[in-house]
């Protein structure tokens, strides 16, 4: 299965710098691609201009799925 690419808002990060996966566009992408979030799932997160590789994990503090990304490895899309 190819690595899913999900629309996110990079400004919607938790205090640990993990991008929250609860935006409307993210939820729509999850439904469209039939992706079920599980700990350790490798994904690509994108806002349409930038993208980054991420690893899904559940935030027990906020009770929401998040993606751990390397903020220094964000790529600009062409």
Handedness of CA 20, 21, 22, 25 (dihedral sign): positive
Number of domains in the chain: 1
Domain membership of residue 18 (yes or no) is: yes
Cβ distance 27 to 75 under 8 Å?
A: no
Per-residue model confidence as pLDDT tens digits over 18-77? 999 999 999 999 999 999 999 999 999 999 999 999 999 999 999 999 999 999 999 999
Task: Write down the pLDDT at residue 78.
Answer: 79
- How many Å apart are CA 67 and CA 29, to the nearest integer? 15
Return the bridge partners of 5, or none. Answer: 44
How many of the other CB atoms lie within 10 Å of CB of 70? 11
Residue 32 lies in domain: 5-71
- How many Å apart are CA 43 and CA 68, to the nearest integer? 10
Evaluate if residue 13 carries a pLDDT over 90. yes
- How many Å apart are CA 76 and CA 14, to the nearest integer? 22
Domain membership of residue 54 (yes or no) is: yes
Task: Write down the pLDDT at residue 1.
Answer: 64
Task: Write down the pLDDT at residue 2.
Answer: 82
Task: Write down the pLDDT at residue 60.
Answer: 96
């Amino acid at each position: 299965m190819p690595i899913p690419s999900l629309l996110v808002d990079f400004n919607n990060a938790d205090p640990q710098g993990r991008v929250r996966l609860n935006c409307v566009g993210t939820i729509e992408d999850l439904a469209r691609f039939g992706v079920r979030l599980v700990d350790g799932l490798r994904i690509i997160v994108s806002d349409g201009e930038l993208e980054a590789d991420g690893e899904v994990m559940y935030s027990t503090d906020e009770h929401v799925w998040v993606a751990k990304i390397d903020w220094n490895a964000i790529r600009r899309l062409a």
